[in-house]
Structure 1
């Protein structure tokens, strides 16, 4: 009898141990309790703002620390806000009515059409010529992505054009580590290279426009070129080096390309009908993107217009069914709900509250040394992608306040705006922080946790390079706070 009782006690103890939450789940629970206490305290926030802030922090935690599908978390977060009375059901319905959603749908269709036309094979043919090892191929790819910033005025547009090319190279590289490297390297470099030109991102044009309206000053194309290109070249190749050290398999660095020109699909030098049509449609889309200030149609609309051309009956490149099947619908739902979730922080006044609290503190340091002011501006702008996921929204929210701040304490507004926009270009920590990363996030080789680890190294490097450039090259060329 005693033996039976002892055994039952052992069993109950083991059952109790097994029933305990895993360590990671315990951390998630503790963080949620902390968020709840932190959100309840601010008296300046109303009920809907507190609900939105708590659910946003909850979703961010679940994306990082759990294995739940990202789309499921995003949809559940919106549903939770609605159920708790923080918003009406219209936020769920309106989630699919955003430009980024249709931009990505169009980008997927265009990417599939470019792939089916054979143009990606030709680009691979070019990249592989004289690229005797994979490391040389990566340098060539870096050059191509850098140059694309001068012709495609959208990070998501560049990602859309690069995606089918990277997918084709990935199919030829059989190592999972190499595929993971490509899936992370490409969007990271696209974002890093944005700083090269004033048309590299819509946020640049918005920031310069706000500067002109507020102060009458501006940043010309040539000025930005002089300041931006050297910085972009240095940070791009430094990023390539860091990524190779951290995630590129060492045994593959000098490995010969498995695919040679003779092994590829034979290219006779002349374009076929599909390739000619695809090039023509790409040209029209690029023209539409470049002439946005004239016709005022959004990049998302122009991209969908291009997608319609690619799948037009008779004259198109792919069929309707091929186009629809090429879209990653789980990713589309994730993007729609995640961006809407970020938007609730703006709509409910959370961002406005954070902005006021932040700049009240900044006005107390008007006598701070130059290096400290520079660091504060960089830290604010570089970390802004943590809580504002849209590149454009970050510029709209922060640039006016930074201009007011610079005018108040006697800083040069042009320099502050340029440094702030370059800082905002860093948005690599989470997939939801950038459309370019989101386009690659549906790739099975994409590793979100590795992206977080890379950002932990790249962010301080990015800040240090900006500080170095400010006190050397940028000051020599007239950029001065």
Structure 2
């Protein structure tokens, strides 16, 4: 291994064969019109709430049933609400300058600085060189991907980082290609829960929770709650992948990859400065309760520091790696979710959803939230879109059933991180399904994985929500 090229920008949206999605667009009004009709229902959400529901239903339908760009759909939805007077234009534009957007911008610039310094190259070369068996390689790769979730925002960015390593391993271990191709996107997706910047959906969920209750989760608390879950679920997933896609003989095979991944020599001055910069940012993020500086401001200062010598990236180069479409989509879905809450539509939907479990214990409601959130990727492919669907409903549902809203939102967001069933379920899955020159996995392989991993994921999230997180300061009931 000599040199790799990395990117933190999301891969291109996959194309799918078969009947074009736009031929099903006529189904969108069948969801929007009944939603608008809820204004006439006794005890319904009112005209404002019904309009928000109709626009929201149309947006979800467009995400699922058409090939239109997800960001365009989200922006069109909030523009309609603003023109209708449901969403104040000032509130709409404020989301574009919200802390979550600035935090993501800073995180992408920091990631570009790490990549430009060569530190990422050094790190990814070190991991496979230390492995001596298939199981060791799987778990060392898992550790590396979990660590990457702390500094590289967006699952698609981390998947792009992993592709060159995977292709090098595919050449060295051809019998392990399918297992490794399944392992990398699986761990990328499950490890995202480790930190607030692990996925844009976390920032959306945190902002909606803060707007609804006056208190969010924050970087340090999210890290304390999410990192243990990320470690446990990722390593369990690695074992599942090994059991499903390797033989006993494969797992017993010994090898030495140091020739393919030679050591890089002493750290350079640029690498040391990059490590110090990102380390300082992480420490300041984790100590926010003591110094009071917002994470977005800390990230901005760190991003500025990453763009001056001896770092090897300039401001212009770093900003080119920022996926602006993703930022607009995140801001728009946050505004859409906020409109659901402010209009009372989310509370009405939660009240309707509550009827089957009314009077049930809080843990039963929590289990229902976890199961629905885990399965939501089958209907809504974007993680941020799933948050804008689930979180506004989960908050009033939790309040009505005696659940702590923060516990319900965190469990829902963690559960929604499972999106492995279809190639179109998540960008990392799509990316690894179509790597040039390397045969990876089929749709049948993904279904085989999901049959085992989905129930396991539900159980793991439930165990953490009921037993682990309360001991870490996230009680099940207020």
Task: Identify if the C-alpha distance between structure 1 residues 162 and 334 changes in structure 2 by more than 3 Å, giving closer, same or farther.
Answer: same
Query: 2:294 aligned with 1:298, yes or no?
Result: yes
Which segment drifts farther, 298-307 or 420-429?
420-429
TM-score, structure 2 as length reference:
0.66
CA drift of 1:121 comes to: 1.8
Q: What is the alpha-carbon distance in structure 2 between the residues aligned to residue 374 and residue 36 of structure 1?
A: 35
Q: What is the RMSD computed on CA atoms of the aligned residues?
A: 5.4
CA drift of 1:284 comes to: 1.0
Query: 2:237 aligned with 1:239, yes or no?
Result: yes
- The answer (yes or no) to whether the contact 1:52–1:348 under 8 Å persists in 2 is yes
Q: What is the alpha-carbon distance in structure 1 between the residues aligned to residue 169 and residue 312 of structure 2?
A: 27
Task: Identify if the C-alpha distance between structure 1 residues 350 and 429 changes in structure 2 by more than 3 Å, giving closer, same or farther.
Answer: farther
SS across alignment from 2:130:
coil
Aligned position for 1:425: 414
Q: What is the alpha-carbon distance in structure 2 between the residues aligned to residue 160 and residue 299 of structure 1?
A: 22
For residues 336-385 of structure 1, give each alpha carbon's deviation from its aligned partner in whole angstroms, at most 9, with x where no partner exists.
323322222123222233344455765x42xx5x6xx5332221356469
Query: 2:322 aligned with 1:324, yes or no?
Result: no
TM-score, structure 1 as length reference:
0.65
Which residue, out of 348, 359, 365, partners 1:376? 365
Aligned residues: 417
Q: What is the alpha-carbon distance in structure 1 between the residues aligned to residue 80 and residue 408 of structure 2?
A: 38
Q: What is the alpha-carbon distance in structure 2 between the residues aligned to residue 23 and residue 442 of structure 1?
A: 21
Aligned position for 2:117: 117
For residues 404-425 of structure 1, give each alpha carbon's deviation from its aligned partner in whole angstroms, at most 9, with x where no partner exists.
744xxxxxx79x9768744542
Q: What is the alpha-carbon distance in structure 1 between the residues aligned to residue 262 and residue 62 of structure 2?
A: 44
For residues 312-332 of structure 1, give each alpha carbon's deviation from its aligned partner in whole angstroms, at most 9, with x where no partner exists.
2x3443112211222222322
Aligned position for 1:185: 186
CA drift of 1:106 comes to: 1.6
- The answer (yes or no) to whether the contact 1:310–1:316 under 8 Å persists in 2 is yes
Aligned position for 1:55: 55
Aligned position for 2:335: 340
CA drift of 1:389 comes to: 5.9
- The answer (yes or no) to whether the contact 1:277–1:316 under 8 Å persists in 2 is yes
Task: Identify if the C-alpha distance between structure 1 residues 315 and 396 changes in structure 2 by more than 3 Å, giving closer, same or farther.
Answer: farther
> Which segments of 5 or more consecutive residues in structure 2 lack a partner in the other structure?
1-18, 172-176, 197-201, 216-220, 435-441
Q: What is the alpha-carbon distance in structure 2 between the residues aligned to residue 242 and residue 89 of structure 1?
A: 48
Q: What is the alpha-carbon distance in structure 1 between the residues aligned to residue 37 and residue 388 of structure 2?
A: 30
> Which segments of 5 or more consecutive residues in structure 1 lack a partner in the other structure?
1-21, 196-200, 214-220, 407-412, 432-436
Q: What is the alpha-carbon distance in structure 1 between the residues aligned to residue 113 and residue 256 of structure 2?
A: 23
CA drift of 1:228 comes to: 9.3
Aligned position for 2:4: none
Q: What is the alpha-carbon distance in structure 1 between the residues aligned to residue 180 and residue 58 of structure 2?
A: 31
- The answer (yes or no) to whether the contact 2:21–2:67 under 8 Å persists in 1 is no
